[in-house]
Amino acid sequence: MKPPSVHVRAFITWLAIFPLVSLGFLTIVPAMGNAHPLLKVFVLTLVVVPLAVYLVVPALMKLYGRLKK
C-alpha cells in the first residue's frame, strides 16, 4: 500500500497537534504562572512534539490505514 498523500499527512498531523496544543495551553501554560512567554512556549512544545511524533500521529496513521482499506 502506498503512503498517504502529503495533504492527508498534513491533516493528520494537524489533527494530532491541535488538541495537544489546546490541552497544553489550558493546563501547562497557566501552571507556569508569570514565566517568560518564550519559556512557556518552549515547555509546551517540549511536551507536545514528542507526544505527537511518537504516539498520536502514528496511532492516527494506523487508524487512517485501517479506514482506507
pLDDT per residue over 16-41, tens digit each? Answer: 999 999 999 999 999 999 999 999 99
| Residue 7 CA to its chain's centroid (Å) | 16
Say what the pLDDT of residue 32 is: 97
By three-state DSSP, how is residue 49 classified?
helix
pTM given for the model: 0.89
Residue 52's alpha-carbon distances to 16, 33, 47, 57, in angstroms, are 6, 25, 9, 5
Say what the pLDDT of residue 68 is: 86
